[in-house]
Amino acid sequence: IERSYIVYLGAHSHGPEPSSDDLDQVTESHYEFLGSFLGSRDNAKEAIIYSYTRHINGFAATLQDHEAAQIANHPKVVSVFLNKGRKLH
């Protein structure tokens, strides 16, 4: 089943004031990382919904459940969880 997931990678190695090049590099690293599971950088680029580049390191992407499970086992990954809905209180 294909669903949207969040892949949380922790914090960034760039400093608190990243340049636009730094941010581009983060996004590129997300493409490369996810691409290694989806077969290509282009597949990853298509799957990614958000690339979190500033303070939170991670991305949201549309993935098949087995892909999400594979990614969760990677040592660079803190957690992988479904893009669930929350309620207003």
Residues within the interface to another protein (CB under 8 A): 4, 6, 8-12, 16, 49-50, 52-58, 60, 62, 75-76, 78-79, 81-89
**Which CB sits closer to another protein, 35 or 60?**
60
Measured distance CA(23)–CA(4) in Å, rounded: 23
Q: How far is the CB of 64 from another protein (least distance, A)?
A: 14
Answer whether 68's CB lies under 8 Å from 4's CB.
no
CB of residue 66 to another protein, shortest distance in Å: 18
Residue number with CB closer to another protein (66 or 76): 76
SS3 letters for 48-61?
EEEEECCCEEEEEE
12 or 38: CB nearest another protein:
12
> 70: which 2 tokens?
């594979």
How distant, in Å, are the alpha carbons of 39, 65, 89 from that of 61?
Answer: 15, 11, 27
In the complex, least distance from residue 81 CB atom to another protein, rounded to whole angstroms: 4
